[in-house]
Amino acid sequence: MIEHSVPEFQHRTVLLDEAVEALNITGPRANGVYVDGTFGRGGHSRKILENLGPQGRLIAFDKDLQAIATANTIVDSRFEIVHDSFATMAQALHARQITQVDGVLLDLGISSPQVDDASRGFSFRSDGPLDMRMDTTRGVSAAEWLATADEQLIGKVVREYGEERFAVQIAKAIVAGRTIQPVSTTRQLAAIVANAVKTREKGKDPATRTFQAIRIYINKELEELKIVLDQAFEQMSLQGRLVVISFHSLEDRIVKQYMASKAKLPQPDRRLPILAVDLPQPQLKLVARVMPSDAEVAANPRSRSAVMRVGERLAAGSKVAPVLSRIS
């Protein structure tokens, strides 16, 4: 989720029109129930509300207290914000007697206001406390984790979540560094990583992958993504849309593989006497894979890595074949 601050309290939401269009909030569906799993600063939620009918309903989720404060400024009886992870979606919907939804939007990752606020500890570009929690009221901070995690675990996290080839060296340097003084600020961690990484990627700070990895681990981002995909699909009405915007390959790989698994035609045992009409059908239609336009990337460079995937829940016995296109 990259929302670019213009000045303070303003933002530029990635794939704003495309994502809301992909939810297909038209006709009778305009009075359905929709979920914005990552409210952020509310760009997508506000656009969804513009398209909802008078009986429509939007349930949004966010772990960030600043996002919750922004959401509480929206005065609309059709809207409700939940201060929790989107991985609690099924439980939250059940508590509200909602048995089906017509669309779920997940705008993953981290927002620009979070990155640009040094006190949150997400960025190595300015010095601040090494926190990195999306929800500062729960869990352990990055500094607390680095103070106690063993070298093997730190290396595994940096390698798997950061796809960092110098993970072993970085982990050794962090453990050595904390024996001298606690690694408690973003500048400290960035300096340790810079000294451990011998060759640098052109145009990329050597701490980039390590900061990404620790943030993903601290916030359980990939685990919660896997949970919410299952929950969203199970809650989806027929012809309901699942729209997911990812910003790095680890997220996009999970989304791509999940949607592909639901869209795959089952392969029965050829030795069994099964008629074609009786074969199980795909549960999901792959509607689109959308990238930001050149104009959007030029206006908001942080959108350049975004990938949006759209799937539609199919009726039982549907013969609709997957179609890939770009939503204009």
Res. 250 pLDDT band, cuts 50 70 90: very high
Distance CA 72, CA 173 (A): 43
pLDDT score at 164: 96
- 57 and 150, same domain (yes or no): no
**Residue 257 labeled ligand binder:** no
**Mean pLDDT along residues 198-210:** 86
Res. 292 pLDDT band, cuts 50 70 90: very high
pLDDT score at 15: 96
pLDDT score at 209: 95
pLDDT score at 254: 98
Distance CA 185, CA 168 (A): 21
**Residue 252 labeled ligand binder:** no
**Residue 248 labeled ligand binder:** no
Which of 218, 243, 271 delimits the end of a domain?
Answer: 218
Pairing of strands 307-313, 236-246: antiparallel
Res. 1 pLDDT band, cuts 50 70 90: low
Does residue 160 belong to any structural domain of this protein? yes
Rounding to the nearest 10 degrees, give the CA dihedral for residues 277, 278, 280, 282.
10
User: Does residue 22 register a pLDDT over 50?
Assistant: yes
* Range(s) of the domain holding residue 60: 3-112+221-313
- The CATH number that applies at residue 69 is 3.40.50.150
Which of 153, 187, 218 delimits the end of a domain?
Answer: 218
pLDDT score at 114: 86
**Residue 42 labeled ligand binder:** yes
**Residue 247 labeled ligand binder:** no
Q: Average per-residue pLDDT in the chain?
A: 90
pTM: 0.89
Does residue 327 belong to any structural domain of this protein? no
Q: What is the pLDDT of residues 99-134, one digit of tens each?
A: 999 999 999 988 888 888 898 999 988 899 999 999
pLDDT score at 317: 45
pLDDT score at 71: 98
User: Does residue 323 register a pLDDT over 50?
Assistant: no
pLDDT score at 225: 98
First to last CA, the chain: 20
Q: Are the beta carbons of 310 and 326 closer than 8 angstroms?
A: no
**Residue 86 labeled ligand binder:** yes
- 204 and 225, same domain (yes or no): no
Element at 3 (helix H, strand E): strand 3-5
Q: Are the beta carbons of 284 and 314 closer than 8 angstroms?
A: yes
DSSP 118-138: GGG---SSS--B----SSTTS
Res. 276 pLDDT band, cuts 50 70 90: low
